[in-house]
């Protein structure tokens, strides 16, 4: 290991390795600050040996590109720190807004600056609301999320690019997941994992930060410490120490545990008996039936993989191992618990746009390959030959969270098969034959968050049924066929935050937007026959709007939009407005971005005047 090699080299020139405290540098945002780097120094680690660059709410690539103003004043900016020091240990924190390749590029850049350092990748964690959902992601994450799969992909890429470099991780997100599992099992000393949060994303100053501080200490090779944590409940501290203790599983016990978990193990009972830690042995012995069942399922997963390969799809796997086991094994040697969580049969073709043809190898009969695979959380059947009867097999997938029937011939007749998918969150029906009336069978689906009806024949009767099934986040109804008479039904979607709405039916107009006025919408897209002066005027009554796109507001509507207290972004046509209406936007206390196209009565001079009056607003005009 690079760090110990440096210590040994120091010993050769007269400095005893044991007397040489490491130098440590941390780079991240407030979730790095929640590990309390200020408390890392102690009797054997001088304060001068620990420094950091902490900038709030941003990704690692952003910190690399913009080191000028870290949010924590005690930061030593990374260009200065790395130019003047060669650290033994460097912690880098990943966060939203980046991708695996971007994080790998950034960490690689820092590795080049610090060629001898051991690097610790700090996972951070998700918000209270998103934590469980992100952790169980059932597809390869395109962008950073707090999922085990993202950390696995990032570490694998770093090891591929930098063979021989020592990499560690804090397992922060997995520690919280272990607490959540303990809560569910009734063995936690806290009432819920949310008890460790002080707000939506940050952890409490006592127990939450104690947990993450010691996760960081362990990754840095430092002993556990409660220094600086004055108000810890002894019972909760003891419990959290036990959670952290899984990471300290002895090498011999980890070796015995690996024998238990081996796919081809012949005597797991005997292997488990060799585990010396009583708590670990007890947990493993209780888990033996589940391990045997997981091993028995492996041939079926191979058959599923072969069936999916034959039709050009992909299978995504995730570990079903309990979090305490993942921590005890350091997220290695858990292959027996790898289960299929996602099946994607979409090849990117879209015959409607002249790109490729439909994948008719996947039809209703083929769906029998999925029957009863309860580990599946995502099934993507876009542009396949599925018509509906085979969805009875999909209906057996009780843990399904995401389903796409886009670009298929599926109609409302198939929806009774899906009535039991009570955990479904994302439902893509775009470019299908669904009118929406099938939602009459989906009344038990209480967790829908995102539903896409783009380019479907959704009509008034369909809207009436859709309105009865709550959608919490995003509902897309562009290029549909409802009328002004049916639109008011959408007022029943009391929790909806984002909506795209547009109908091609001659009986629809901008009046349809009025039905949304009572909803707590944060983002609204207006299209088709609703993208009129009347439509955007109706949208101006939605006080919660943060983003509005579409429509052609007149001067009076622009004045009303300027009064919306939360509107940050406005994207509209200027065909109905003049310089006078644009000038009114200068009075907005919230508007940050304006994109306005067309409009002969809007002049360059008028936009320049607005720029002078609202210098902080980004303005793109005709």
Mean pLDDT across the stretch 135-161? 89
Tokens coding 104: 């790998």
Work out whether the CA dihedral 393, 395, 399, 401 comes out positive or negative. Answer: positive
Residue with tokens 């996947």: 362
3-state secondary structure of 280: helix
Work out whether the CA dihedral 355, 361, 364, 366 comes out positive or negative. Answer: negative
Residue 369 falls within a domain, yes or no? Answer: no
Cα atoms in the Cβ-side hemisphere of radius 13 Å centred on 453: 30
Angle between helices 234-245 and 172-185 (to 10 degrees): 120
The fraction of the chain above a pLDDT of 90, given in percent, is: 91
- Residue in 428, 438, 421 with CA at minimum distance from that of residue 384: 428
Cα atoms in the Cβ-side hemisphere of radius 13 Å centred on 129: 3
Q: Tell the burial category of 142 from Cβ atoms under 10 Å away from its Cβ (0-12, 13-18, 19+).
A: exposed
Residue 211 near residue 240, CB atoms below 8 Å: yes
Residue 359 near residue 311, CB atoms below 8 Å: yes
Cα dihedral 93, 95, 98, 100, rounded to 10, equals: 60
Between CA 58 and CA 217 the distance in angstroms is 23
Q: How confident is the model at residue 2 (pLDDT cuts 50, 70, 90)?
A: very low
Residue 430 falls within a domain, yes or no? Answer: no
Under DSSP, the state recorded for 187 is: -
Residue 513 falls within a domain, yes or no? Answer: no
Residue 183 falls within a domain, yes or no? Answer: yes
Q: How confident is the model at residue 175 (pLDDT cuts 50, 70, 90)?
A: very high
Instruction: Quote the number of domains for the chain.
Output: 2
pLDDT digits (tens, 9 = 90+) for 461-475: 999 999 999 999 999
Count other C-beta atoms under 10 Å from residue 527's C-beta: 20
pTM for this one?
Answer: 0.87
Between CA 135 and CA 133 the distance in angstroms is 6
Tokens coding 73: 């004043």
First vs last C-alpha separation in the chain: 60
| Helix H or strand E encompassing 51 | strand 50-54
pLDDT digits (tens, 9 = 90+) for 45-61: 999 999 999 999 999 99
pLDDT digits (tens, 9 = 90+) for 523-561: 999 999 999 999 999 999 999 999 999 999 999 999 999
Residue 392 near residue 416, CB atoms below 8 Å: no
Please report the pLDDT score of residue 574 as a whole number: 82
pLDDT at 196 over 90: yes
Instruction: Give the best-scoring range by mean pLDDT among 143-157, 409-423, 590-604.
Output: 409-423
Residue 449 near residue 472, CB atoms below 8 Å: yes
Please report the pLDDT score of residue 600 as a whole number: 82
- Exposure string of 210-224, with b = 16+ CB inside 10 Å and e = fewer, is bbbbbbbbbbbbbee
- Which of the listed residues 188, 217, 247 is the one where a domain comes to its end? 247
Mean pLDDT across the stretch 363-387? 97
Tokens coding 537: 């005027």
pLDDT at 150 over 50: yes
DSSP 115-126: TT-EEEEE----
Q: What is the largest CA-CA distance in the chain?
A: 88
Residue 614 near residue 593, CB atoms below 8 Å: no
Between CA 325 and CA 342 the distance in angstroms is 23
pLDDT digits (tens, 9 = 90+) for 262-295: 999 999 999 999 999 999 999 999 999 999 999 9
Between CA 494 and CA 284 the distance in angstroms is 47
Cα atoms in the Cβ-side hemisphere of radius 13 Å centred on 372: 3
pLDDT at 515 over 60: yes
pLDDT at 355 over 50: yes
pLDDT digits (tens, 9 = 90+) for 337-349: 999 999 999 988 8
pLDDT digits (tens, 9 = 90+) for 4-32: 333 333 333 333 345 699 999 999 999 99
Residue 327 falls within a domain, yes or no? Answer: no
Find residue 340's DSSP bridge partners. 317
pLDDT at 297 over 50: yes
Please report the pLDDT score of residue 138 as a whole number: 66
Between CA 16 and CA 507 the distance in angstroms is 85
Find residue 596's DSSP bridge partners. 572
The residues near 210 (Cβ < 8 Å, ≥ 6 apart) are: 226, 229, 232, 237, 240
Residue 544 falls within a domain, yes or no? Answer: no
Backbone angles phi, psi at 319, to 5 degrees: -85, 130
3-state secondary structure of 537: helix
Question: What are the Cα distances from residue 270, in Å, to 274, 275, 283, 328?
Answer: 7, 10, 15, 19
- Which of the listed residues 183, 216, 247 is the one where a domain comes to its end? 247
Residue 385 near residue 362, CB atoms below 8 Å: yes
Tokens coding 179: 């607490």
Under DSSP, the state recorded for 572 is: E
Residue 209 falls within a domain, yes or no? Answer: yes
SS3 for 492-526 is: HCCCCCEEEEEECCCCCCHHHHHHHCCCCCCEEEE
Question: What are the Cα distances from residue 617, in Å, to 179, 464, 522?
Answer: 45, 40, 19
Residue 557 near residue 537, CB atoms below 8 Å: yes
Kindly report the average pLDDT of the chain as a whole number. Answer: 94
Please report the pLDDT score of residue 347 as a whole number: 87
Please report the pLDDT score of residue 299 as a whole number: 97
Under DSSP, the state recorded for 422 is: T
- Which of the listed residues 227, 247, 267 is the one where a domain comes to its end? 247
Instruction: Write out the residue range of the structural domain in which residue 96 sits.
Output: 2-247
Please report the pLDDT score of residue 455 as a whole number: 98
Between CA 442 and CA 429 the distance in angstroms is 14
- CATH number for the domain harbouring residue 563: 3.80.10.10
Residue 501 falls within a domain, yes or no? Answer: no
């Amino acid at each position: 290991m690079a760090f110990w090699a440096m210590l040994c080299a120091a010993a050769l020139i007269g400095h005893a390795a044991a007397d040489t405290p490491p130098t440590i540098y941390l780079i991240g945002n407030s979730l790095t600050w929640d590990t309390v780097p200020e408390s890392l120094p102690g009797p054997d680690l001088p304060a001068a040996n620990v420094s950091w660059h902490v900038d709030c709410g941003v990704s690692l690539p952003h910190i690399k590109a913009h080191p000028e103003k870290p949010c924590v004043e005690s930061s030593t900016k990374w260009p200065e720190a790395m130019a003047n020091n060669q650290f033994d240990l460097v912690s880098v924190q990943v966060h939203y807004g980046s991708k695996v390749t971007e994080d790998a590029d950034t960490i690689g850049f820092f590795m080049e600056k610090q060629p001898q350092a051991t690097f610790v990748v700090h996972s951070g964690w998700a918000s209270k609301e998103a934590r469980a959902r992100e952790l169980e992601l059932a597809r390869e994450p395109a962008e950073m999320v707090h999922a085990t799969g993202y950390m696995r992909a990032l570490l694998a890429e770093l090891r591929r690019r930098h063979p021989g470099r020592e990499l560690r991780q804090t397992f922060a997100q997995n520690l919280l997941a272990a607490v959540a599992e303990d809560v569910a099992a009734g063995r936690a000393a806290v009432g819920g994992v949310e008890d460790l949060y002080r707000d939506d994303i940050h952890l409490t100053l006592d127990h939450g930060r104690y947990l993450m501080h010691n996760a960081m200490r362990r990754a840095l090779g430092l002993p556990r410490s409660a220094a600086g944590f004055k108000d810890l409940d002894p019972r909760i501290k003891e419990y959290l120490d036990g959670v952290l203790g899984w990471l300290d599983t002895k090498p011999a016990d980890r070796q015995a545990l690996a024998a238990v978990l081996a796919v081809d193990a012949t005597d797991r009972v005997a292997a488990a008996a060799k585990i010396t830690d009583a708590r670990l042995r007890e947990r493993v012995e209780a888990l033996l039936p589940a391990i045997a069942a997981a091993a028995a399922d492996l041939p079926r997963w191979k058959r599923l993989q072969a069936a999916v390969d034959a039709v050009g799809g992909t299978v995504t796997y995730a570990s079903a191992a309990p979090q305490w086991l993942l921590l005890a094994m350091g997220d290695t040697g858990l292959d027996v618990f790898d289960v299929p969580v996602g099946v994607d049969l979409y090849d990117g073709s879209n015959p409607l746009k002249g790109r490729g043809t439909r994948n008719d190898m996947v039809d209703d009969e083929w769906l029998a390959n999925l029957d009863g695979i309860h580990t599946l959380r995502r099934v993507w059947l876009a542009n396949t030959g599925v018509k509906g009867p085979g969805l009875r097999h999909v209906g057996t997938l009780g843990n399904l969270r995401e389903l796409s029937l886009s670009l298929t011939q599926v109609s409302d007749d198939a929806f009774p098969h899906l009535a039991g998918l009570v955990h479904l969150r994302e439902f893509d029906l775009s470019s299908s034959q669904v009118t929406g009336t099938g939602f009459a069978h989906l009344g038990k689906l209480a967790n829908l968050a995102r539903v896409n009806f783009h380019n479907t024949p959704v009509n008034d009767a369909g809207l009436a049924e859709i309105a009865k099934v709550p959608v919490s986040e995003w509902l897309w109804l562009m290029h549909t066929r409802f009328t002004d008479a049916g639109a008011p039904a959408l007022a029943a979607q009391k929790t909806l935050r984002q909506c795209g709405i547009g109908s091609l039916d001659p009986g629809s107009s901008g009046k349809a937007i009025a039905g949304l006025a009572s909803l707590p919408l944060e983002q609204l897209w207006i299209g088709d026959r609703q993208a009129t002066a009347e439509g955007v005027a109706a949208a101006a009554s939605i006080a919660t709007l943060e983003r509005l796109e579409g429509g052609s507001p007149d001067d009076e509507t622009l004045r009303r939009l300027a009064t919306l207290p939360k509107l940050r972004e406005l994207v509209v046509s200027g065909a109905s407005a003049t310089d006078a209406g644009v000038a009114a936007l200068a009075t907005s206390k919230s508007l940050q971005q304006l994109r306005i196209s067309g409009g002969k009565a809007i002049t360059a001079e008028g936009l320049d005047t607005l720029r002078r009056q609202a210098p902080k607003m980004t303005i793109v005009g005709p």
